[in-house]
């Protein structure tokens, strides 16, 4: 499986793009920057978007992507998540007030979006996506993504959590965990309330992870980026790297 980082910043400013990962050519995990980072012809290839949670920095570009590909879709783009998370998108984003309801509006052939609720897993093109709840102030899930050779985890936004790591520990060939650090150590209270990690909180969390995968960190708040880089370096965690925009990985 191939993964490309479209965005992985904890905020928006020039040069900063919010969370979105492209898997192979046609699958997104979150869509914080899908329309901003992908060319129009690349956007036309997106068929499925897995959604970790309803926060704007993870979903905002679904709106612009749907608009961009309106004329050319022959089947709807599938929005995949728990029923609860999808309901939030229906009620609060694609509600004909904030943005058109593209699950109803048709281009003459089909609607542009379709909701695909899942409870546990979905397999697409030989890749299985399993979902597990994580710790965040809104309903939120992390993913175990298992290809033919190996698996990876994308945690979505989370503070300290349990089940996702327990399941990750059972993976035979876990290559990498993509997870978050958002706030510097001095903002531990804010991080706890907001369901995010500080560098110190993340170091403590590592005691739950057993199989020594590579750790790719995203979601640094732009305002604290310099301080966070210092604090993350000071942790001296082997196999920890920050993700880079446009970086490609093969697993």
CB of 15 to Zn ion, least distance (A): 17
Residues 6+ apart with CB under 8 A from 197: 158, 159, 160, 179, 180, 181, 182, 183, 191, 205
Closest CA to 16 of 198, 186, 228: 228
Determine the interface stretch with Zn ion among 71-79, 116-124, 150-158, 232-240 (rule: CB under 5 A). 150-158
Q: Segment contacting Zn ion (CB under 5 A): 1-9, 104-112, 124-132, 155-163?
A: 155-163
State the minimum distance, in angstroms, from the CB of residue 68 to Zn ion: 23
Please, what is the minimum distance in Å from the beta carbon of residue 150 to Zn ion?
A: 26
Distances (CA, A) of 112 to 18, 44, 64: 23, 11, 12
Scanning 59-67, 87-95, 153-161, 230-238 for contacts with Zn ion by CB under 5 A, the matching segment is 153-161
Q: Is 231 in the site for Zn ion (CB under 5 A)?
A: no
Positions in 41-80 near Zn ion (CB under 5 A):
55, 57
Burial 208-235 (b: 16+ CB within 10 A, else e): ebeeebbbbbbbbbeebbebbeebbeee
Binding-site ranges for Zn ion (CB under 5 A):
55, 57, 157
């Amino acid at each position: 499986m191939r993964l490309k980082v479209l965005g992985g910043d904890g905020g928006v400013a020039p040069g900063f793009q919010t969370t979105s990962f492209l898997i192979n050519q046609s699958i997104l995990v979150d869509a914080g920057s899908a329309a901003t980072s992908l060319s129009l012809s690349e956007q036309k290839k997106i068929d499925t978007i897995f959604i970790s949670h309803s926060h704007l920095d993870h979903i905002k570009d679904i709106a612009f992507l749907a608009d961009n590909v309106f004329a050319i879709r022959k089947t709807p783009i599938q929005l995949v998540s728990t029923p609860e998370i999808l309901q939030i998108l229906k009620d609060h984003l694609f509600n004909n007030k904030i943005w058109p309801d593209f699950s109803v509006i048709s281009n003459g052939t089909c609607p542009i979006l379709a909701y695909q609720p899942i409870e546990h897993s979905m397999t697409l093109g030989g890749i299985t996506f399993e979902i597990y709840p994580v710790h965040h102030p809104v309903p939120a899930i992390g993913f175990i993504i298992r290809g033919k050779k190996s698996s990876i985890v994308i945690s979505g936004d989370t503070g300290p959590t349990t089940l996702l790591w327990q399941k990750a520990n059972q993976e035979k060939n876990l290559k990498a965990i993509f997870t978050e650090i958002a706030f510097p150590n001095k903002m531990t209270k804010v991080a706890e309330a907001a369901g995010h990690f500080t560098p110190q909180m993340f170091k403590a969390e590592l005691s739950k992870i057993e199989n020594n995968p590579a750790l790719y960190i995203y979601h640094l708040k732009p305002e604290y980026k310099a301080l966070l880089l210092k604090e993350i370096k000071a942790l001296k965690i082997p196999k920890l790297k920050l993700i880079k925009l446009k970086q490609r990985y093969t697993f």
